[in-house]
């Protein structure tokens, strides 16, 4: 409850929501340009610092201020999607739609988590009364 842990959780959740929104836009763009000749599908860049944040969390420690900068960076930058072996670089509608379904579920999970988190905080603020 100390060390501003709630603030970090809240910021990381909202940054993750930003990233999910950007990913949705990128997938929508890929689908819209699926029949365009020479279009290269894009994806949201996943930075190495995010991997570091993941590792730290799985070791039982919590996120720190420095990881939030990495999350903010990864929720704004794009890169071309990696080339699958033996396949040509083109938009595959079904995999894009699959990614979109996954992203939608992830967005809803983040949103639910954030609203539950806010619910606990508002419980504390309202002194136990609803």
Positions that interact with other proteins (CB under 8 A): 1, 5-6, 8-9, 12-13, 15-16, 50, 53-54, 57-58, 60, 62-63, 67, 71, 82-87, 92, 94-95, 98-99, 101-102, 105-106, 108-110, 112-114, 116-117, 119-120, 123-124, 127-128
Q: Please, which residue, 30 or 67, has the CB nearer to other proteins?
A: 67
* Alpha helices (runs of H) in the chain, residue ranges in sequence order: 5-32, 48-58, 65-74, 93-125
Question: What is the smallest separation between the CB atom of 80 and other proteins, expressed in angstroms?
Answer: 13
Question: What is the dihedral angle through the alpha carbons of 115, 117, 118, 123, rounded to the nearest 10 degrees?
Answer: 120
Q: Retrieve residue 46's tokens.
A: 């996943």
Question: What is the smallest separation between the CB atom of 39 and other proteins, expressed in angstroms?
Answer: 18
Q: Please, which residue, 80 or 119, has the CB nearer to other proteins?
A: 119
Q: Retrieve residue 56's tokens.
A: 């730290």
Question: What is the smallest separation between the CB atom of 78 and other proteins, expressed in angstroms?
Answer: 17
Long-range contacts of 87-91 (CB under 8 A, 24+ apart): 89/40, 89/41, 90/39, 90/41, 91/30, 91/31, 91/33, 91/34, 91/39, 91/41
Question: What is the smallest separation between the CB atom of 105 and other proteins, expressed in angstroms?
Answer: 5
């Amino acid at each position: 409850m100390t060390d501003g842990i709630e603030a970090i959780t809240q910021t990381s959740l909202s940054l993750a929501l930003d990233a999910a929104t950007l990913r949705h836009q990128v997938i929508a763009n890929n689908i819209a340009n699926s029949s365009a000749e020479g279009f290269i599908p894009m994806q949201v860049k996943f930075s190495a610092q995010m991997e570091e944040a993941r590792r730290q969390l799985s070791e039982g420690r919590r996120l720190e201020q420095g990881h939030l900068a990495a999350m903010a960076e990864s929720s704004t930058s794009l890169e071309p999607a990696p080339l699958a072996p033996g396949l040509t670089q083109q938009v595959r509608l079904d995999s894009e739609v699959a990614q979109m379904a996954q992203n939608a579920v992830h967005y809803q999970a983040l949103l639910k988590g954030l609203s539950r988190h806010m619910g606990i905080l508002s419980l504390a603020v309202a002194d136990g009364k609803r």
